[in-house]
């Protein structure tokens, strides 16, 4: 039986889905007998409900509806742009989302590192704080993984080499192939980690 995966997040996920479809990388070049991928990307997707139509929490019903085993979450960066919101409050909303996903039946949640942005020092400082909180939180449970986009230093070289012209999104030719490899690696890692996560889920 294949492992069902939901890629859930903001415009990174939406653009990534389009790129994969356009470049004949359906299902991330993974056998559907092994891993079956579902997508839900929301342009401008947010964690805190300042705009309900953009709230990623509205999509958690998909976890139970599709019988998802692993959920990859790409979220938080749009909320960090709102300086009226604290980093701690945003991250608590992210952790609440992860808990809802687990309670909806997903056995494992991967939370992706928040990538920095070109020429935005305030955002980058908040992103570093957020990533530190995610890393610490994910160490508390075998059902949570903090995924850093560190393959080939993608995260460290993102703003200089792999970001799109807007300095925010992934460049479709320079960046997407590396982002593809990072996300694909995350799913393969999660597949191996799944038995440990299932054991913890059963013991709760």
Measure the CA–CA gap between 33 and 183, rounded to whole angstroms. 19
Number of domains in the chain: 1
| Gap between the terminal Cα atoms of the chain | 24
Distances (CA, A) of 99 to 20, 63, 69, 103, 201: 29, 12, 14, 6, 12
Paired tokens of 98: 């992860």
Whether 117 contacts 126, CB under 8 Å: no
From first to last of its 204 residues, the chain has per-residue pLDDT tens of 899 999 999 999 999 999 999 999 999 999 999 999 999 999 999 999 777 779 999 999 999 999 999 999 999 999 999 999 999 999 999 999 999 999 999 999 999 999 999 999 999 999 999 999 999 999 999 999 999 999 889 999 999 999 999 999 999 999 999 999 999 999 999 999 998 887 776 665
DSSP class of residue 159?
I
Paired tokens of 36: 């079956």
State the CB neighbour count (10 A cutoff) for residue 81. Answer: 14
Q: What is the largest CA-CA distance in the chain?
A: 48
Q: What is the CATH number of the domain that holds 29?
A: 3.40.50.1110
Given CA atoms 145, 146, 149, 152 in this order, what sign does their dihedral have? negative
Q: Give the residue numbers spanning the domain of 127.
A: 3-203
């Amino acid at each position: 039986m294949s492992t069902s995966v939901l890629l859930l997040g903001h415009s990174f996920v939406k653009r990534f889905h389009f790129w994969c479809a356009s470049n004949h990388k359906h299902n991330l070049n993974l056998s559907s007998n092994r891993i079956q991928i579902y997508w839900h990307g929301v342009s401008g997707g947010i964690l805190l409900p300042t705009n309900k139509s953009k709230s990623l929490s509205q999509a958690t019903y998909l976890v139970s509806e599709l019988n998802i085993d692993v959920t990859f979450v790409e979220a938080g960066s749009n909320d960090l742009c709102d300086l009226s919101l604290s980093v701690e409050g945003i991250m608590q909303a992210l952790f609440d989302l992860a808990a809802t996903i687990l309670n909806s039946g997903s056995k494992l949640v991967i939370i992706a590192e928040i990538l920095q942005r070109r020429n935005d020092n305030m955002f980058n400082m908040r992103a570093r704080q957020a990533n530190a909180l995610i890393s610490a939180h994910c160490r508390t449970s075998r059902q949570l993984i903090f995924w850093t986009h560190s393959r080939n230093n993608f995260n460290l070289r993102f703003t200089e080499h792999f970001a799109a012209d807007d300095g925010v999104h992934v460049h479709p030719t320079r960046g997407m192939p590396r982002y593809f490899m990072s996300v694909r690696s995350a799913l393969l890692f999660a597949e191996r980690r799944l038995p440990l996560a299932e054991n913890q889920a059963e013991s709760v």
